[in-house]
C-alpha cells in the first residue's frame, strides 16, 4: 500500500440536508470524475412510499450517479421502499442512515435513535439487503458521550454478518437529546478508535468521516493506510479544497462546468438560486471572487449563467 497521496484515493461527498442536492452532487461528479461518490440528502422511507415519482424526480437527475440515503425503522416499510427503488434503474446504491441525531428523526426512532435497538436495526438491514445494487451504511462511532468500543464493534460485527461491506463511520459519537449542530462538535473526533476498528475488521471497507478538512488529518489517515475519505462541510464550503491542499488536481474546470450545465438543463425542477449556491462552492479562492459572485447573483436565467461560466476566464 502506497502511504502517500495518490490517484487511487477516493472521496465521498457526505449526505447533507439542504446542501447535497442534485446540483452540488452533479458538479462534484463533473469536477472529480470517478474519484468521487456522492450521496443524496437523507430521504425517509415513508416519503418514497407515498410520493415516489416526485421524490425521485426531485432528488435525482436522469443521469444520476449518486447513492440514495434512506432512513427507516419499520422493516415492512423499508421493504416497500426497497421494492420501489429496485424498479428505478438510475439508483444503483442504497445507503442506510444510522447516525442522524435530529430530534424529528429521533421521535420516529430513525437514524442514531434506532441504534438503541440492535435487533430492530438487524431486521431493518435484512430488508435493506433486498436491494439489488450496492449497499452501505453510515453510522457513528458510539452512542452517548463516553467512548464505547462495544457499540461500534458490535455494529461492525452485525454489518459483517449480514454481508454489508461498506461502512461510513462519522468518527465521533452521537448523543440523543443534544441538538444536531452540537452533535457535530461536542462529541470528540476519535480517529484512533476508527483506526482500531479498521485493524479489527480488515474485511470491511471502513471509510472515515468527520473534520477531514486539513492536511494533518489526511496525513494521519494516509499514514494508517486509509485511502477513502468522506467529506461533508468542507466540500460544501469549497468543493475545490482538495486542490488547495495539493491532494487532487482538478483537470479542466471550464469543460467540467460546461458538462454540468448540459446535464442539469432539462431538469424538471430547475432552481436557479440552488444552482448558484452550488457554483459558489467553487469560487472561494479565485481572484476577484467578490465581483464574480456579484455578477453571478444578477443572472435571472440559466442560459446567461452558463454563458458567463463557459465564456469567461474565471480560472485563467
Ligand atoms: C447541514 C448538514 C446536513 C446533514 N445532513 C445529513 C444527512 O442527511 N444524512 C447524514 O447521514 N448525515 C448528514 N449530515 C452529517 C454529514 O454527513 C457528516 O457526517 C458530518 O457533517 C461530519 O462530516 P464533516 O465534518 O466532514 O462535515 C449533515 C451535516 C450537515 C452539516
User: Once rounded to an integer, what is the mean pLDDT over residues 88-93?
Assistant: 96
Asked whether 97 lines ligand 1 (CB < 6 A), one says yes
Q: Which residue has the least CA distance to atom 10 on ligand 1?
A: 15
Residues 200 and 85 in one domain: yes
Choose between 105 and 17: higher pLDDT.
Answer: 17
pLDDT at 234: 98
pLDDT at 137: 98
Indicate the average pLDDT of the chain: 94
Locate 162 and state its grid cell. 449480514
Residue 315 has pLDDT above 60, yes or no: yes
- With bands split at pLDDT 50, 70 and 90, how would you rate the model's confidence at 2? low
Asked whether 71 lines ligand 1 (CB < 6 A), one says no
Q: Which residue has the least CA distance to atom 8 on ligand 1?
A: 42
Asked whether 184 lines ligand 1 (CB < 6 A), one says yes
Domain limits for position 302: 253-260+268-311
| Chain segment 174-228, per-residue pLDDT in tens | 999 999 999 999 999 999 999 999 999 999 999 999 999 999 999 999 999 999 9
Residues 58 and 202 in one domain: yes
Spatial neighbors of 106 by CB under 8 A, at least 6 apart, are 112, 113, 176, 177
Cα→Cα distances 189→98, 116, 171, 186, 208, Å: 17, 21, 5, 9, 11
Residues 46 and 190 in one domain: yes
pLDDT at 139: 98
pLDDT at 96: 98
Q: Tell me how far the alpha carbon of residue 308 lies from the centroid of ligand 1, in angstroms.
A: 31
Residue 238 domain-assigned? no
Report the C-alpha gap between 240 and 242 in whole angstroms: 6
Q: Residue 79 belongs to a domain with what CATH number?
A: 3.20.20.70
Residue 302 domain-assigned? yes
Spatial neighbors of 307 by CB under 8 A, at least 6 apart, are none
Residues 163 and 304 in one domain: no
Residues 49 and 140 in one domain: yes
Residues 183 and 277 in one domain: no
Residue 196 domain-assigned? yes
Asked whether 120 lines ligand 1 (CB < 6 A), one says no
Give the position, in ligand 1's atom list, of the atom nearest the Cα of 213. 26
Asked whether 42 lines ligand 1 (CB < 6 A), one says yes
Q: 232, 234, 238, 281: which to mutate for ligand 1, most atoms within 8 A of CB?
A: 232
Residues 74 and 206 in one domain: yes
Asked whether 100 lines ligand 1 (CB < 6 A), one says yes
Query: Which of 69, 76, 136, 122 is CA-nearest to residue 100?
Result: 69
Q: 179, 233, 236: which to mutate for ligand 1, most atoms within 8 A of CB?
A: 233
Residues 45 and 128 in one domain: yes
pLDDT at 316: 63
Measured distance between the N- and C-terminal CA atoms of the chain, rounded to whole angstroms = 36
User: Once rounded to an integer, what is the mean pLDDT over residues 140-164?
Assistant: 97
Residues 156 and 285 in one domain: no
Asked whether 15 lines ligand 1 (CB < 6 A), one says yes
Residues 201 and 284 in one domain: no
Asked whether 173 lines ligand 1 (CB < 6 A), one says no
| Chain segment 60-78, per-residue pLDDT in tens | 999 999 999 999 999 999 9
Helices (H) and strands (E) in the chain, counts: 16, 8
User: Once rounded to an integer, what is the mean pLDDT over residues 48-60?
Assistant: 92
Give the position, in ligand 1's atom list, of the atom nearest the Cα of 230. 26
Task: Tell whether pTM > 0.75.
Answer: yes
Residues 296 and 204 in one domain: no
pLDDT at 73: 97
pLDDT at 105: 83
Q: 11, 13, 14: which to mutate for ligand 1, most atoms within 8 A of CB?
A: 14
User: Do 31 and 252 meet the contact criterion of CB atoms below 8 Å apart?
Assistant: no
Residues 175 and 276 in one domain: no
Query: Which of 120, 183, 115, 127 is CA-nearest to residue 155?
Result: 115
Residue 24 domain-assigned? no
Residue 67 domain-assigned? yes
Residue 1 has pLDDT above 60, yes or no: no
Report the C-alpha gap between 25 and 277 in whole angstroms: 12
Residue 10 domain-assigned? no
pLDDT > 70: what percent of the chain? Answer: 99
Residue 22 domain-assigned? no
Asked whether 232 lines ligand 1 (CB < 6 A), one says yes
| Chain segment 253-310, per-residue pLDDT in tens | 889 999 999 999 989 899 999 999 999 999 987 888 888 999 999 999 999 999 998 8
Asked whether 217 lines ligand 1 (CB < 6 A), one says no
Q: Which residue has the least CA distance to atom 28 on ligand 1?
A: 16
Residue 111 domain-assigned? yes
Query: Which of 161, 173, 167, 162 is CA-nearest to residue 198?
Result: 167
Count of structural domains within the chain: 2
Amino acid at each position: 500500500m502506497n502511504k502517500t497521496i495518490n490517484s487511487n484515493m477516493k472521496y465521498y461527498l457526505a449526505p447533507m440536508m439542504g446542501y447535497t442536492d442534485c446540483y452540488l452532487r452533479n458538479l462534484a461528479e463533473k469536477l472529480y470524475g470517478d474519484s468521487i461518490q456522492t450521496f443524496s440528502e437523507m430521504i425517509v422511507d415513508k416519503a418514497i412510499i407515498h410520493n415516489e415519482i416526485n421524490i425521485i424526480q426531485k432528488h435525482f437527475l436522469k443521469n444520476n450517479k449518486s447513492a440514495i440515503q434512506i432512513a427507516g425503522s419499520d422493516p415492512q416499510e423499508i421493504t416497500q421502499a426497497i421494492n420501489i427503488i429496485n424498479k428505478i434503474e438510475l439508483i444503483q446504491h442504497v445507503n442506510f442512515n444510522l447516525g442522524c441525531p435530529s430530534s424529528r428523526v429521533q421521535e420516529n426512532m430513525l437514524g442514531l435513535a434506532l441504534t438503541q435497538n440492535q435487533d430492530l436495526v438487524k431486521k431493518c438491514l435484512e430488508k435493506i439487503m433486498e436491494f439489488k445494487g450496492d449497499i452501505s451504511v453510515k453510522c457513528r462511532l458510539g452512542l452517548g458521550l463516553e467512548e464505547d468500543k462495544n457499540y461500534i464493534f458490535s455494529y461492525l460485527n452485525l454489518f459483517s454478518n449480514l454481508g454489508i461491506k461498506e461502512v461510513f463511520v462519522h468518527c465521533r459519537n452521537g448523543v440523543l437529546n443534544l441538538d444536531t449542530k452540537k452533535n457535530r462538535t461536542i462529541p470528540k473526533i476519535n480517529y484512533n478508535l476508527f483506526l482500531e476498528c479498521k485493524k479489527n475488521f480488515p474485511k470491511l471497507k471502513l471509510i472515515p468521516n468527520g473534520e477531514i478538512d486539513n492536511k494533518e488529518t489526511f496525513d494521519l489517515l494516509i499514514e494508517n493506510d486509509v485511502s477513502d475519505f468522506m467529506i461533508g462541510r468542507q466540500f460544501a464550503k469549497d468543493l475545490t479544497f482538495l486542490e488547495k491542499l495539493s491532494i487532487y488536481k482538478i483537470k479542466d474546470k471550464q469543460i467540467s462546468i460546461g458538462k454540468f450545465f448540459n446535464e442539469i438543463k432539462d431538469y424538471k425542477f430547475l432552481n436557479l438560486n440552488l444552482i448558484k449556491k452550488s457554483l459558489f462552492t467553487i469560487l472561494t479562492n479565485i481572484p476577484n471572487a467578490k465581483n464574480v459572485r456579484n455578477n453571478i447573483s444578477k443572472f435571472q436565467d440559466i442560459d446567461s449563467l452558463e454563458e458567463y461560466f463557459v465564456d469567461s476566464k474565471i480560472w485563467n
